[in-house]
Structure 1
Amino acid sequence: MAAAFGVHFGSTSACLAVYKDGKTDVVANEAGDRVTPAIVAFTDHDKAVGLAAKQGIIRNAQNTVCNVKQTLGREFTDPAVQQITASSPVKIVEKDGKPAYEVEFQEKRATFTPVQIAELVYKNMREIAQSHGDGEIHDTVVTCPVDYNPQQRNALSQSAEAAGFHVLRVINEPTAAALAYDLGQKDIHEYCNVLVYRLGGTSCDCTVISVNCGMYRILANISRPDIGGSSFTDVLAEHFAGEFKRQWKSDVHENKRAVAKLKNAAENCKHVLSTMPTAQCSVESLHEGIDFQSSVSRARFESLVSSLLQQCLQPVEQVLTEAQLTKENIHKVIVCGGTTKIPALQRSLKDYFNEAEFLNSIVPDEVVALGAAKQAAILTGNEEESKLHEQENEVECLSKQILIKVLPSNSDQDKLQVLFPAFTPIPVRRQHVFDLSQEQTTFCVEIFEADDSINDRVLLGRVVMQEVPENGQITAVFHIRREGSLHVTCTEKTSGKLEDVLIEAQ
């Protein structure tokens, strides 16, 4: 049986796992590391991906692209892209309405789209897959965040396909995490509520999944882009900056390269403190030719980040509220993402869910990739894995809520109404009846997509009916198909007049 692969492409790192001969494991890169930095650097001579790109980031920051996952599949005018553009050391410009990175490459200015950057990361993953000794074509499942819209999912899949992978499916990261632990897969009658807690390099996601008869349904999801591993690194770097200032009466903040050096050293210390009680920080010629050496204990580190640890529990409480559950209703907790290796964070989660089973036996930054590889094995018909999986194990759901607004107004009909809440399983159908007012001969219904805040809604389309009878009645049917397209049909009862529109999945 041919190997099946799973790829987790995160904001700061990527991981490749393989399922072969009944076993699932992570494939290490040429340096022996099981995760690879999702970083691409451009120089006068070549492109570098992974650790080589990360090592040169201090000297080549303006040509080193990080966190491309945050711009992938977005419009240039997206507020999130504008915020990234303002803080990015790499110049981000508009190209065909999309963001693009402008860099110095081979002694001239060049632009690369997020899809092209992601393709380079996936090519690096494919080279790792080839080193595993498999054939040219690799059946692969890739993962994405729950709140990725169709455009972002398509961009992710397009990048992987361009890199040479055969993408079988794009699945949600929490679903992959649950698959990694075989929840509902070995015992098809298992029922439980699972909280998947992911704390990566730049964001935090909390997801509640209902596992029932081998099927996964997402009940709620909360994403926090303001909390991540970089937040902990920044706190530790500031601690070291204060130490340096006390020792040498000099401020490293006066030099951007010195700050970058210190953050890199702080990140290494953070990783060490996940397994060791103390960590040494040593930076040659940090600032004004001065070498810096210091040490920090795990207890001191935990004291420094105590407020961050409290913030990390906030999305847990929010997602339980959104799912209309209490912590006692959660049966299992899965942790994933490299930052969840911090012992104090795991203790906080265990104390909060003191009655739940805590699943952390798999290395946190490998969980999602391993689950994706298991899904790939199922889809390729692997005999060991497919016996219990005659049907799909993930219930497809909407990532955002769908709202409607009826014009002209009639009483409360001019207000936005939630048609389909976020995480509604699809396919799904709804029917609404609207009564027209006296002398009203036109009818219009607008369809929007929105996150939690309806103020950031996006117009998907509208249905307009002209010359309808006064005091008429409109029956509107909204049908979201499995592939994500929305079919809207409006029929006037008296005349039988009909208008419809098909809004394709982007």
Structure 2
Amino acid sequence: MSVVGIDLGSQTTKIGVARNKGIDIITNETSNRATPSLVGFGPKSRYLGENAKTQEISNLKNTISSLKRLAGRSLNDPEVTIEQEFITAPLVDINGQVGAEVTYRGEKQRFTAVQLIGMYLGKLRDTASKELRLPVSDVVISCPPWFTDAQRRAMLDASQVANLKLLRLINDNTAIALGYGITKTDLPEADAKPRRVAFVDIGYSDYTCSIVEFRKGELAVKATTYDRHFGGRNFDKALVDHFAKEFKEKFKLDITTNAKAKLRVAAAAEKIKKILSANTSAPLNIESLMDDKDVRAVLKREELEELVRPLLERVTVPIEQALAEAKLKVEDLDAVEMVGGCTRVPSIKEAIAKFFGRPLSYTLNQDEAVARGCTFSCAILSPVFRVRDFAIHDIVTYPIEFTWEQSPDIPDEDTSLTVFNKGNVMPSTKILTFYRKQPFDLEARYAKPEMLPGKTNPWIGRFSVKGVKADAQDDFMICKLKARLNIHGILNVESGYYVEDVEVEEPVPEAKEGDKMETDQPNGDAEPKPKTRKVKKQQRKGELPMSAGTSSLDEQTLASLAEAENQMYMEDKLVADTEDKKNELEAYIYELRGAIDDKYSEFASPEEKEKIKDKLEKTEDWLYDEGDDATKAQYIAKMDDIKFVAGPVIQRYNDKLEEERQARFKAEEEVAAKKRAEAEAKKKAEEEAKKTAEPQKAEDTEMKDAETVKPDEVEESTGSK
């Protein structure tokens, strides 16, 4: 089982995996750590990620970007109109959901945002699976904190379409905070003053600021604010508008009338923006932009800052709002962490540093912090990976209320209640109590629709409670409903049950030691009987059947979308395999043509050479004519035909190689055997010499002992004379 975290971005996506006791951000098939968040459609197959980026300019009307910003939206949402400025494919309405109309496999087809995101997630799944060499199922995916219930449900549905089990849909800012805190070993204890950190995340399309408190083993989000339309793409758009005006005056070219030219200028503008983060000026040169005309320009950093002045004036607004909601001052913060590619812009850094009056911190990877946090979250939730326990207390972004019809038996009953207020801890569970004599419905909706992005429908869901009836005394049934804002930030009424008031006896608490009075005990040492009292308590008696209607897709629809996705996936695979076989056939033709007069020359007769060359020529003519769009089976058949003709020649060559190999092996064996024999003979000779030397050594020792005369023996001999 694998542990995977996905930072699903508007422009690019990063994939993190847990392995080797750490977190790695993996590379895709082109060795890039970031995969373009694009889905494209062609005459034969889909293009996903890097492949979609490669063909984007030549296939604008069939390529869709900003995928996550379409999730859970409708076409009449004004923010979808804004997205159409950045998406080159036409957006359409599909049963109340926004989608795209494209030409795919020669036909006009429509795909919803859920399907498009599901396609892209399938590509990410395969990238992670190839890297890990394991099937990928469990994932944690990031989303902006301003996502509504409908948008979050759309992300869950898309994950199911991609055959992924989404363990948690985590807010971007919360993932960043988790990645920051879980690696810290010096966080304050639970009863100490917390470490307060502001996280400023400015990415490609939006801007988020969070104030987070850290203690040992936990984090608590205190406030999260955002600007949904402040990011790198807004800087790019300002540059494109500037150059469009300049090119119209200077080169008489109107790039607004040519989508391809506009996209090329946008790509160049993005490069200029990055260059100006480190330099004071940057050149722009585009060859044959329109009407075979080349364009060139130079932009200074001061000019860029003037162009984006309206944006820069909004830089500190989310920070001010976050501090106000957290009820903190600038001096209450311990650090300000900067995350996101757009935080490299000097003017943004200067404005934020000036506001806080302190140096900004860049201890996190600006591009990969969210992906790392998602992967840590997945590791915490996964049973197969051991990681330090770290509690996450997120907050509710929008207040949620329940409404219901007034009971005819309770004329003064309130018909609405705000159950989850903005800033409440999430996940969270609340128990709602109703007194009813018949089944009833309640609806969940956002209490303040003006806070929602665009013209999002504030409706969240309708929940029907069944099995409700009056009791034998025609009295109310006491109904308890369990409402939960879960780990994904999605609201559900998870269960319902009814209770009854029953009388139970419970012991009366004993008086304290000092209050006891001495009394006679007629039974000697017998313990006094404990006192009890009767109290009314609610006792759970049974379950109440529930049914729910939400923006989530029903199981049947999800199953059909998953089946359609699998079919397209298999078609893509067949197209890729077919292309591989075509390339293999083409390469084999060139290789064999060169080899027949080279390494195979001495193994083929002139007739065989002529026959093989003729076969290669005919196959090549077929390949570049009617075989350009053939099937996988046809390419395999053509390859087999060539191998049938050239097979005998190649076999002779291989036999010759085998003979030479066997001869080399035999010669090597003979040399090795000779060396072994020589070694054995040498060893034997040494042993013989050793045996011969031992008796001679003993004899020499005896002679030496006999010849040795002690000094006292000499003296005695001299004395006797």
The alignment's TM-score, normalised by the length of structure 1, stands at 0.81
| Partner residue in 1 for 2:367 | 365
- Note if contact 1:142-1:157 (Cα within 8 Å) is conserved in structure 2: no
Among residues 375, 380, 383, which one is paired with 2:382 in the alignment? 380
- Structure 2 stretches of 5 or more lacking a match? 502-537, 553-721
Deviation at 1:381, TM superposition (A): 5.2
Q: 1:404 to 1:122 in 2, by over 3 A?
A: closer
How far does residue 197 in structure 1 lie from its aligned partner after superposition? Answer: 2.0
Alpha-carbon distance between aligned partners in 2 of 1:252 and 1:421, rounded to the nearest angstrom: 48
- In the aligned structure 2, how far is the partner of 1:233 from the partner of 1:75? 26
Question: Does the CA-based 8 Å contact 1:408-1:444 persist in structure 2?
Answer: no
* Alignment-derived partner of residue 320 in structure 2: 317
Q: Distance in 2 between matches of 1:447 and 1:160?
A: 24
Are residue 458 (structure 1) and residue 496 (structure 2) matched? no
Say whether the 8 Å CA contact 1:433–1:476 is kept in structure 2: yes
Q: What's the secondary structure of 2:391's corresponding residue?
A: coil
2:446 equivalent among 442, 446, 449: 449
1:63 aligns with 2:56: no
Q: CA 1:454 to 1:466, structure 2 compared with 1: closer, same or farther past 3 Å?
A: farther
> Letter of the aligned partner of 2:30 in structure 1?
A
Structure 1 residues 433 and 41, CA gap change in structure 2 (3 angstroms): closer
Residue in 2 that maps onto 1:12:
11
CA distance in 1, matches of 2:330, 2:546: 41
**Within 2, Cα distance between the matches of 1:269 and 1:295?**
9
2:423 alignment partner AA: F
- The one-character-per-residue Cα deviations of 1:148-188 (angstroms, maximum 9, x if unpaired) are 34443343244345435443322221111012223575345
How far is 1:412 from its partner?
12
CA distance in 1, matches of 2:260, 2:430: 56
Residue 423 of structure 1 pairs with residue 423 of structure 2: yes
Q: Output aligned runs, 1:27-426, within 5 Å.
A: 27-75=26-74, 80-81=79-80, 84=83, 88-137=87-136, 139-163=138-162, 165-182=164-181, 185-187=184-186, 189=188, 191-355=194-358, 358-380=360-382, 386=387, 388-389=388-389, 393-395=391-393, 397-404=395-402, 418-425=418-425, 426=427
User: In the alignment, is the contact (CA less than 8 A) between 1:184 and 1:215 conserved in 2?
Assistant: no
Q: Deviations over 1:383-419 (max 9, x none)?
A: 7x62x30xx5212543421135677799999897644
Change (3 A) 1:23 1:277: farther
Contact in 2 for aligned 1:174/1:196 (Cα 8 Å): yes
Residues 421/143 of structure 1: CA separation in 2 closer, same or farther (3 Å cut): same
Q: Which residue of 1 aligns with 2:669?
A: none
Question: Secondary structure, in 3 states, of the residue corresponding to 1:244?
Answer: helix
Range 401-410 or range 100-109, more displaced: 401-410
Residues in 2 aligned to 1:227 and 1:322: alpha-carbon distance in whole angstroms: 20
For the residues of structure 2 that align with 1:189 and 1:477, how far apart are their CA atoms? 40
Task: Report the Cα offset of residue 368 of structure 1.
Answer: 0.2
Instruction: Tell me by how many angstroms 1:14 deviates.
Output: 0.7
1:439 corresponding residue in structure 2:
none
Partner of 1:438: none
In structure 2, the CA distance between the partners of 1:335 and 1:124, relative to structure 1 (3 Å rule), is farther
Change (3 A) 1:245 1:150: closer
Instruction: Give the aligned residue type for 1:402.
Output: I
Q: Give distance in 2, aligned partners of 1:343 and 1:380.
A: 40
Moved more, 36-45 or 281-290: 281-290
Give per-residue Cα distances to partners, 1:341-378, cap 9 Å, x unaligned: 223212322222234x7332333221100111222233
Q: Which has the higher contact order (CA 8 A, sep 6+)?
A: 1
C-alpha displacement of 1:262: 1.3
Cα distance in 1 for partners of 2:333, 2:417 equals: 31
Shift of 1:445: 7.4
Query: More strand by proportion, 1 or 2?
Result: 1
Number of equivalent positions: 489
Partner Cα separation in structure 2 for residue 77 and residue 307 of structure 1: 27
* SS of 1:125 mapped into structure 2: helix
Residue 606 of structure 2: aligned partner: none
Residue 107 of structure 1, CA deviation: 0.8
After superposition, give the CA deviation of every residue in 1:288-315 in whole Å (9 maximum; x if it has no partner). 3220122323343234323312212222
Change (3 A) 1:186 1:451: farther
Residue range with higher mean Cα deviation, 246-255 or 29-38:
246-255
Q: Partners in 2 of 1:323 and 1:450 — Cα distance? A: 21
Which residue is equivalent to 2:597?
none
The answer on whether the counterparts of 1:10 and 1:38 sit within 8 Å (CA) in structure 2 is: yes
Distance 1:322 1:239 in 2: 37
Task: String of CA shifts for 1:480-505, please: whole Å, max 9, x gaps.
Answer: 335342378999x9xx9xx9996857
For structure 1, which segment, 212-221 or 63-72, has the greater mean C-alpha deviation from structure 2 after superposition? 212-221
Q: Is the 8 A contact 2:432 2:483 kept in 1?
A: no
- Contact 1:463–1:500 (Cα < 8 Å) also in 2: no
Distance across 2 between alignment mates of 1:124 and 1:444: 41
Instruction: Looking at secondary structure, tell me which structure has more helix per residue.
Output: 2
Letter in 1 for 2:29: E
- Mapped partners of 1:317, 1:199: distance in 2: 15
Match of 2:492 among 480, 485, 491: 485
Instruction: Tell me if the contact between 2:196 and 2:332 (Cα under 8 Å) persists in the aligned partners.
Output: yes
- SS, match of residue 59 in structure 1: helix
325-334 vs 72-81, which moves further: 72-81
Asked if the contact 1:485/1:503 (under 8 Å) is kept, the reply is no
Counterpart-to-counterpart distance in 2, 1:225 and 1:90 = 22
Cα shift at 1:478? 7.0
| In 1, Cα distance between equivalents of 2:362 and 2:52 | 30
- Residue 46 of structure 1 aligns to which amino acid in structure 2? S
CA spacing shift, 1:126–1:478, aligned 2, 3 Å: closer
Separation of aligned partners in 2, 1:462 and 1:130? 39
Residue 424 (structure 1) shift: 1.4
Q: CA RMSD in A?
A: 4.1
- AA matched with 2:214: V
Q: Distance in 2 between matches of 1:278 and 1:393?
A: 47
- C-alpha offsets along residues 456-481 of structure 1, whole Å, 9 cap, x if unaligned? 632644899999xxxx9999977533
**8 Å Cα contact 2:6/2:142 also seen in 1:** yes
Contact 2:5–2:376 (8 Å) recurs in 1? yes
Q: Report the secondary structure of 2:400's partner residue.
A: strand
How far residue 327 of structure 1 moved from its aligned partner, in angstroms, is 2.5
* Residues 427 and 479 in structure 1, CA contact (< 8 A), matched pair in contact too: no
Q: Is the 8 A contact 1:444 1:462 kept in 2?
A: yes
| Paired amino acid for 1:449 | Y
Q: TM-score, normalised by structure 2?
A: 0.59
| Letter in structure 2 aligned against 1:400 | Y
Counting aligned pairs with the same residue, the percent is 25
